[in-house]
Amino acid sequence: MTSNSQSNQSSIQSTQSAQSSAQSAKSAASVARQEQIRAQAKKIMDNFFVALKNANISDNQIGVNRKKQTRKPESRKNDDSNDSFRQGMFANAPNKDIDHIVAEKKHW
């Protein structure tokens, strides 16, 4: 390797290093901006929530009551009305627990 090419390579490396630090600084600034805005947004939402809560309007009728709607695992244990369908549905499942597929992300 000639001294000229060594000097070029060193110059390229120093430019890359400068670009990399500029990108890191930009990225850090971007994260800082996001976090600052996130905190500001949360504060606004919290203030709004307090005002809404003080109105004392019941939210009982809104949306889904999760406790009532959640299926109990035992509820269909003795239901064998459609065994062939169930067998088909669960044929490829790696892990199962009666009526449930036990799934983990990226494992099926």
Structure tokens at 33: 């901006």
Find the helix or strand (DSSP H, E) in which 68 lies.
helix 66-69
CB of 21 to other proteins, least distance (A): 19
Q: Which is nearer to other proteins, 42 or 100 (CB)?
A: 42
Query: Please, are residues 99 and 71 in contact by the beta-carbon 8 Å criterion?
Result: no
Residues of this chain, 32-51, that bind other proteins according to CB under 8 A: 33-34, 37-38, 40-42, 44-45, 47-49, 51
Q: With beta carbons less than 8 A apart as the criterion, state whether 90 and 101 touch.
A: yes
The span of 52-60, 72-80, 85-93, 97-105 binding other proteins (CB under 8 A) equals 52-60
Distance between CA atoms of 68 and 72, rounded to whole angstroms? 10
SS3 content of the chain, % helix, strand, coil (to 5): 65, 5, 35
Q: Using an 8 Å Cβ cutoff, are 83 and 90 in contact?
A: no
Q: Does 100 bind other proteins (CB under 8 A)?
A: no
CB of 52 to other proteins, least distance (A): 5
**What is the x/- site pattern for other proteins, positions 12-31, by CB under 8 A?**
------------------x-
In the complex, which residues of this chain contact other proteins (CB under 8 A)? 30, 33-34, 37-38, 40-42, 44-45, 47-49, 51-53, 55, 57-59, 61-63
